[in-house]
Structure 1
Amino acid sequence: MLGIIGGNGAGKSTLLRLCGGVLRPTEGVVQRTGRAEAFFDFTAGLQPDLTCQDNVILGLIISGHSVREARSLVQEVLEFAGIWDNRLNPVRVLSTGMKLRLGFAIATQQRPDLLLLDEVVSVGDADFQERSSDRTAAFLRAGTAAVLVSHDMQQVQSLCQRAIWIHHGQSASYGSADVVTKAYIESAYDVDNSNSGTGITGHEPPGMQLATIVNGNPDTATVTSGASIELGFEINVDQALGVFRPAISLLDDNGQLQTYLYYQSTIEHDGGRLSFSVTLDKMGLADGDYQIALYLHSADWSTTLGEFADAASIEIENAPEGAGVLRPQSEWCVPNK
């Protein structure tokens, strides 16, 4: 599977629609072989005034089935969607979730040669998400090629072998999904902090006030190397941040970045007080002072909504003997000679 990543307006969905033939290129050529199935909006092809079973028949005929084949598959499709009891009801009376399940079931009844996925790998409630994910995975095992547009870097890393990073309509990077997504994430850190030799600008956004708790203490704590560190953040914000994802960086006392971690999902903020926490498990670090910065990124990483350079500080002590910053607990096993 190929992942396509980039900020809002970079051209990701446009590229996907070019691959699907929804749009025509003004320059160059798009070549593909076999049958493509584009998962842009599963409900787009549903006719609201037709019954569910008539929508199945119509959808399957458009996909290339004969009328007889389409009729024979109605029960299978509707049972997969979990709406067999609604087969004679018009689609307009279905809930949004039921429409999504119906659209997915119709679109995936026949294995395509190419899947084009715009932010969608599975749909519906937890039970149907598992079934739809299993069907998508079965397609991939059977040889279906897939292209996935996503803002979820963890999803791209887990599902895709290769990735392309689109920036202002151009390819910024192409290669291994792990390498490209990490470069994209690190670019957000680099852009935020390009004006500072230490990687921290020291800018605290207006209209935001931060309070940090480190292992139960305000702002700072002394921690034994190898112990866990719990960071609790409470932010007062004048305006709504919308959908965002938090990230933290850990710098040593020389200002060198030691790690940059981010929340794998997103948080939705409607305004007012906002609280969240992160636990750093078994932090095996060398003795010394470390600084933690907090970042609030937009969901697509294109904008930094807030940055707190001095969010917290920690002092590490009693580290194991050794060299370098990383000091994990170690246990040696030497066989008897």
Structure 2
Amino acid sequence: METAPEVAVLESVSKRFRIRKDNNLKDRIVHLGRQAKMHRQDFLAVDDVSLSIRAGTTVGLMGANGSGKSTLLKLIGGIVSPTSGMVRTRGRMAALLELGAGFHPDLSGRENIYLNASILGLSRPEIDAQFDEIVAFSGIGDFIDTAVKFYSSGMYVRLAFSVAVHTNPDVLLVDEVLAVGDEAFQRKCMDRIAEFRRDGCTIILVSHSAQQVAELCDRGIVLSDGAVVFDGDTDAAIGVLRDVLDGRYGKGVARTRPAIQLERVELLDASGDRVKVLPEGEALTVRLHLDAERPMERWAAGFSINTPNGHIVFASNSDLIRANLDPIGGRLALDFVVEDLRLGSGTYHVHANVQGVSEPSDHGISHGATFSVETRLQTLGSTTAQVAAKRVG
């Protein structure tokens, strides 16, 4: 099988900004000369990042506020230049980095479509051919000939997103713009990005939503203080992100290894194959991959299935089912089998935990795995509903 080409390569890339503390003219005059350096501070936004992104992948950039996600996206898009290192890209890029970026406030929506699309590389005939679709997708309607300075933030982003996705980019860069707009438009954006994925477009997405990343991305990159602390499977990346946000892991903060550790969570169907989409009512095996640093006589493990909002819809553990667990030493796979999982359609996250009993120890993974349920039933939950009409009176 031929390997997909690289569309973005970063080699030892760093970006440093200079922040001034003397923000007004009076302070700058007073601090002229040798004292001026005392009122400037260097900020390292991206710290020695090396990575490559191949065509056709969807990558989620995650981290706390100020971790360098947006700066890294701008470096990939060529919006800013690195202080050191090298960024190489190929193909047509469309960037959605800020609301209305590339729009002129005094021009109408119509004029800005032609201006922005031409900046993104489309010719006048190509824009003419796409114009009606751009307007229809944005939902701007009668406001298309109104100056965009009178648009709401939602109208801005809808038009900007619509222009970007109709330029047929090879690489789409998205920075949190999916958090703007009403729910219907957000769903439309997600559906369009999913369509891009099917068509082989490369997508690099910055998002604070674990649900969005789990639903859209096949690779997760977690940043902390400008440095990459994890790069790999999306579910594992979301777990690392939780550790970073809780202060348990990050740049300069090493993970402390517990005596018994949960390495990863795997979801299997009735045939023993890894599963991401499960038909309603089918069996699901939650496999916990464990590692005990030294032999342990008594221990326990469990898991929960949660909605994206954090509500538990199913949970179990070895104590509840009165499982007799043999002493553990080294690596072990522990299976919890749910014979008939009845959940409504949607996306679900699996959290898991392992605990040492004879030697107190505890380790868990949030968002250890993600799956979705498909159902043909017109009800939600564990049973179907029947209806019958009965005349009364």
Give the stretch that moved more between structures: 72-81 or 143-152: 72-81
Residue 135 of structure 2 is matched in structure 1 by: 78
Q: Decide which of 269, 279, 284 is 2:316's aligned counterpart.
A: 284
- Per-residue deviation at 1:180? 2.2
Distance in 2 (CA, whole Å) between partners of 1:257 and 1:284 is 9
Percent of paired sites with the same residue: 34
Contact 1:122–1:133 (CA<8 Å) still a contact in 2? no
Contact 1:284–1:329 (CA<8 Å) still a contact in 2? no
Q: Decide which of 116, 139, 156 is 1:59's aligned counterpart.
A: 116
Residue 175 of structure 2 is matched in structure 1 by: 118
Task: Indicate how the Cα distance of structure 1 residues 23 and 260 shifts in structure 2: closer, same or farther if over 3 A, else same.
Answer: farther
Matches within 5 A, 1:1-337: 1-121=58-178, 123-188=180-245, 191=248, 264=308, 280-285=312-317, 319-324=320-325
- Per-residue deviation at 1:12? 1.3
SS at match of 2:94: strand
Distance in 2 (CA, whole Å) between partners of 1:72 and 1:327 is 55
Q: Deviations over 1:201-235 (max 9, x none)?
A: xxxxxxxxxxxxxxxxxxxxxxxxxxxxxxxxxxx
- Per-residue deviation at 1:122? 7.0
**How many matched pairs?**
233
Contact 1:3–1:156 (CA<8 Å) still a contact in 2? yes
Distance in 1 (CA, whole Å) between partners of 2:337 and 2:231 is 37
- Per-residue deviation at 1:18? 0.5
Unaligned runs of 5+ in 2: 1-57, 250-254, 260-297, 327-333, 341-393
Q: Deviations over 1:77-99 (max 9, x none)?
A: 21221123223222222222222
Task: Indicate how the Cα distance of structure 1 residues 173 and 163 shifts in structure 2: closer, same or farther if over 3 A, else same.
Answer: same
Distance in 2 (CA, whole Å) between partners of 1:327 and 1:32 is 44
SS at match of 1:143: coil
Distance in 2 (CA, whole Å) between partners of 1:256 and 1:188 is 26
Structure number with higher strand proportion: 2
Residue 219 of structure 1 is matched in structure 2 by: none
Letter in 2 for 1:11: G
Give the stretch that moved more between structures: 54-63 or 181-190: 181-190
- Per-residue deviation at 1:75? 2.7
Letter in 1 for 2:188: R
Contact 2:305–2:315 (CA<8 Å) still a contact in 1? no
Q: TM-score, length-normalised on structure 2?
A: 0.51
Tell me which of the two structures has the higher relative contact order, counting C-alpha pairs closer than 8 angstroms and 6 or more residues apart: 1
Contact 1:284–1:327 (CA<8 Å) still a contact in 2? no
Q: Deviations over 1:146-199 (max 9, x none)?
A: 11122222322222111222122222121111122213324555739x99x99x
Residue 277 of structure 2 is matched in structure 1 by: none
